[in-house]
Amino acid sequence: MTVMRSKHPTQKQIMLYALNEADPGWEKPMERHLKQCSQCRNLLKQNTKMAELCSLYKKELPAGSLIRVRNRLSASLVSTVQTGDKPGRVTGAWFLPYPALQAAAAVVLLALGVLIGRFGLPPSTPLTSLDPSSPPGLAALLEIVPAADNNEVRIQYQTLVNHRLAGDDTRKDIVRLLCYALLHDSRDQVRLTALERLEKSVNREMVQEALVGAVRKDINPGVRLKAIRLLRTRKTDESLKSLYLYALFQDGNSGVRMEALHALLELNDPDIRPILEKKAAENEYIHSLLMREKNIPFSTSDI
């Protein structure tokens, strides 16, 4: 039976403890020590993460070349457990005291990136610039359910496992998931529900980005229409002006085009008039929209 004779447990002892293979003779002393020593707690967290990742990829890696990644990782961990007998140092939150563990960590992160890229996200829906704020490896947003409280929403989504998240729909992590759902979920009802729940967060940059993406790319005109209506509640800048012009001239749905026209007309922007006049002269449909609009900022006889 091995006992802890030094002030700190060895790297080997911490690794075995993380793997749930601790010697019963020093398991309790280890627990007492960890309550008092932040250095060793940090090392334990690192080793626990490594153990979890190793266990995860033992099950998830596909057959073929990535199996070698798992094997090398396992060999590195085993080698460290067998030979790492010196107390480790902590110089930062992600410091690993042995080169083998550093290499193993790099391999795990590489494998994680490959797996998420290949299996985590549908290949037809790449992430936009919202990528950094989107949940890593989000495979499917399964449902969005408004809770009894109008300010709350329940979200179930899937990464490598299923997750459930509930809380105020203005909470940052929930807003991120709602933006992701709006841009990437294939079901109309999920995207429409996400739009409804984003209404109170419309002034956030990530929400504007998602709404602009929906106007430009969503295949459902109801989603595009609702997205423009939400954007109209924001203070309009040049990027939104360009978006409204795009929707007016390029969208194939008359309701969306009329909504974009309303958004442009309410700006009372003198630069809009010559653009609309030019397009109306070239496009009979734009001309008819302007003729039907009662609040145009110039006489229809000018067109």
In the prediction, which pLDDT does 297 show?
Answer: 46
Which range is least confidently modeled, 43-47, 224-228, 253-257?
Answer: 43-47
Q: What is the mean pLDDT of the chain?
A: 67
- Percent of the chain surpassing pLDDT 90: 8
Q: What is the Cα–Cα distance from 257 to 276, expressed in whole angstroms?
A: 13
pLDDT at 185 over 70: yes
Which range is least confidently modeled, 159-163, 188-192, 210-214, 223-227?
Answer: 159-163
Residues 6 or more apart whose CB falls under 8 angstroms from that of 169 comprise 151, 152, 153, 175, 178, 197, 198, 200, 201
pLDDT at 27 over 90: no
pLDDT band at 222 (very low <50, low <70, confident <90, very high): very high
Sheet holding 152-158, edge to edge: 140-146, 152-158, 162-168
pLDDT band at 289 (very low <50, low <70, confident <90, very high): low
Long-range contact pairs involving 77-84 (C-beta distance under 8 Å, separation at least 24): 77/15, 77/50, 77/51, 77/101, 77/104, 80/11, 80/12, 80/15, 80/104, 81/12, 81/15, 81/16, 81/19, 82/12, 83/12, 84/10, 84/11, 84/12, 84/15
Q: Among 130, 136, 134, 95, which Cα is nearest to 117's? A: 136
Mean pLDDT, to the nearest integer, of 123-128?
Answer: 33
The answer to whether the CB of 237 falls within 8 A of the CB of 209 is no
Dig out the tokens for 266 from the structure: 């309410």
Q: Where are the domains of the chain?
A: 11-120, 122-230, 235-303
- At residue 220, φ and ψ (nearest 5 deg) are -95, 120
